[in-house]
């Protein structure tokens, strides 16, 4: 049990998920001396990087009773960030089997597997075990009940249920599995096929079709380029461009960037805000994901409201339940791997009492100030976790853990990568101009590899 201030706590901690966040968290918790159990409903470490050809029974993800699939990886997926930027601090992402700077999904999975092996994480993981409920044993108390179910080994479809009490729970279950869908007039009556990018794997099914992809994120760009190789026409419908936009993607003859869909009709026609009207076979929603924690029962203390998980102090601790409940992996549009590494260090250090959180009231005040700042700047609630995940946030986390902030090369490589992807949407993974930064990163890595 937690002890008084300044003495070191050794806790029994549950980590939900064995993707990048969960692996990092398990490592940091164990480094601090905690006893750790990691639950993962999958059969191997790696989370979203564990590719499967399987897709969900409802391709839009609207049916809450559908058979779900965790991974959103598609066959041809390569990283959108250079490997140096994604690299963990003391475990460089050096080439394993795909030496490219933006390697394929197999290479990332292998990196995470190597990480798990190096730090003996696999022995902590209960694979094939889905957490179905996380709840405080006594309201306001500090113990947590974690209920899980594991597929029976006898093959009769039965489940083995388990119920274990922990001092603390860290939620690392990933945030790229529950589709967010765009709405437009005629959504329900339009007769074509609609799906979410979560269920996209390969382009063959779209041969000779006219496709609309909604969104202008990296998955919308990747999918549109790949599908354009087999489809007749590809149209991107984007909310973020002006209403009169209708232009070809540079270097591509059959990809158009349009403003958002105005309406879709029973005869199969789709009309854009720019006035263009086309007959469409398939609409793919590349519109991101919802934060989704169906197992979490906090009596309304932590909620997901318009994709804001809150209230959370610095996207990690709910003030009223801190430090016994925490989240690693929530920030979006961040340099995810190293940001999650710092979050996990912070959580582990706070749980062992090496680092002390502000009072509940002060954390709540900080959260409210942050929300007011977002509102004053016109940032919609649904972008709460995209707005703050910049180097300053990571350096703040590092300062809490008393470790060095982001290396200068890492910040610059990340910024250059974003710039490069917008200048060269079709070729940024194989062409760049920041060679000098790669050399700086390698020099840094040599401390760990030589
Ligand atoms: P995940 O990898 O999703 O892992 C979560 C784990 O939790 C899974 O193993 C899952 O089985 C388990 N789990 C979930 N619910 C339960 C439950 N109830 N019980 C038990 N286990 C559970 N980031 C980059 O830095 N660079 C990139 O190039 C990049 N490309 C991406 C491409 C795609 C298509 C997607 C979807 C994401 C990409 N990302 C990229 C972001 C990526 O998600 C993060 O980098 C990171 O892998 C997320 O790790 P995670 O551990 O938080 O979540």
**Angle at 41 (CA atoms; ends 35, 43), nearest 5 degrees:** 95
Q: Look up tokens 């263009």; give the residue.
A: 276
List of residues 6+ apart from 348 with CB closer than 8 A: 25, 28, 29, 31, 32, 34
% residues pLDDT > 90 (the chain)? 88
Ligand 1 atom with minimal separation from the 74 CA:
34
Report the pLDDT value the prediction gives residue 2, as an integer from 0 to 100. Answer: 42
Strands of 75-158 (E only): list them.
125-126, 129-136, 144-151
Pairing of strands 269-272, 261-264: antiparallel
> CA geometry: angle at 173 spanning 406 and 200, to 5°?
95
Q: Which atom of ligand 1 sits closest to the CA of residue 79?
A: 28
Strand 35-39 relative to strand 125-126, pairing? parallel
In this structure, of 258-267, 277-286, 336-345, 389-398, the range with the lowest mean pLDDT score is 389-398
Per-residue pLDDT tens digits for 240-285? 899 998 999 888 999 999 999 999 999 999 999 999 999 999 999 9
Please tell me the predicted confidence (pLDDT) of residue 158. Answer: 79
Atom in ligand 1 nearest the alpha carbon of residue 42: 11
Sign of CA dihedral 373, 289, 182, 260: positive
- Under 8 Å between Cβ of 237 and 212: yes
Q: Are 326 and 317 in contact (CB under 8 A)?
A: yes
For position 1, what pLDDT does the model report? Answer: 39
Pocket residues: Cβ below 6 A from ligand 1? 16-22, 39-42, 47-49, 70, 72-73, 77, 79-81, 86, 130-131, 172-174, 176, 219, 295, 329, 336-337
The pTM of the full predicted model, rounded to 2 decimals, is 0.96
Predicted local distance difference test score (pLDDT) of residue 447:
86
Rounded CA gap, 222 and 284, in Å? Answer: 12
Bridge partners, 198 (sequence order): none
Greater confidence, 390 or 256? 256
Q: Whose CA is nearest to atom 12 of ligand 1?
A: 17
Beta-carbon-side half-sphere exposure of residue 187 (alpha carbons within 13 Å): 12
């Amino acid at each position: 049990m937690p002890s008084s201030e300044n003495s070191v706590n050794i806790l029994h901690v549950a980590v939900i998920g064995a993707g990048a966040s969960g692996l990092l968290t398990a490592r940091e918790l164990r480094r601090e001396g905690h006893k750790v159990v990691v639950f993962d409903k999958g059969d191997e470490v790696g989370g979203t990087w564990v590719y499967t050809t399987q897709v969900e029974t409802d391709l839009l993800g609207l049916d809450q009773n559908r058979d779900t699939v965790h991974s959103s990886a598609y066959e041809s997926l390569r990283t959108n960030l250079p490997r140096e930027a994604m690299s963990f601090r003391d475990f460089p992402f050096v080439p394993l089997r795909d030496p490219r700077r933006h390697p394929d999904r197999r290479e990332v999975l292998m990196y995470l597997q190597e990480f798990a092996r190096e730090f003996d994480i696999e022995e902590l993981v209960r694979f094939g075990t889905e957490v179905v409920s996380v709840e405080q044993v006594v309201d306001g108390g500090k113990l947590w009940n974690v209920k899980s179910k594991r597929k029976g080994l006898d093959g009769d479809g039965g489940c083995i249920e388990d119920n274990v009490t922990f001092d603390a729970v860290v939620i690392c279950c990933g945030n790229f599995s529950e589709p967010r869908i765009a709405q437009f007039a005629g959504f329900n009556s339009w007769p074509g096929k609609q799906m979410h990018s979560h269920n996209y794997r390969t382009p063959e099914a779209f041969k000779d079709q006219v496709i609309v992809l909604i969104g202008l994120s990296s998955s919308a760009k990747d999918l549109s380029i790949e599908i354009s190789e087999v489809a007749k026409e590809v149209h991107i419908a984007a909310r973020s461009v002006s209403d009169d936009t209708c232009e070809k993607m540079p270097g591509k003859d059959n990809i158009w960037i349009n403003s958002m869909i105005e309406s879709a009709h029973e005869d199969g026609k789709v009309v854009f805000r720019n006035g263009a009207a086309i007959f469409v076979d398939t609409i793919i929603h590349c519109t991101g994901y919802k934060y989704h924690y169906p197992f979490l029962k906090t009596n309304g203390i932590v909620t997901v409201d318009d994709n804001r998980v809150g209230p959370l102090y610095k996207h990690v601790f709910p003030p009223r339940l801190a430090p016994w409940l925490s989240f690693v992996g929530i920030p979006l549009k961040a340099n995810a791997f190293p940001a999650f590494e710092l979050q996990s260090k912070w959580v582990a250090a706070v749980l062992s009492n090496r680092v002390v959180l502000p009072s509940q009231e002060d954390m709540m005040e900080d959260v409210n100030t942050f929300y007011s700042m977002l509102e004053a700047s016109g940032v919609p609630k649904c972008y709460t976790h995209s707005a703050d995940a910049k180097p300053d946030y990571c350096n703040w986390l590092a300062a809490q853990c008393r470790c060095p902030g982001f290396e200068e090369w890492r910040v610059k490589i990340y910024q250059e990568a974003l710039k490069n992807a917008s200048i060269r949407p079709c070729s940024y993974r194989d062409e760049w101009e920041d060679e000098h930064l790669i050399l700086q990163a390698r020099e840094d890595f040599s401390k760990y590899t030589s």
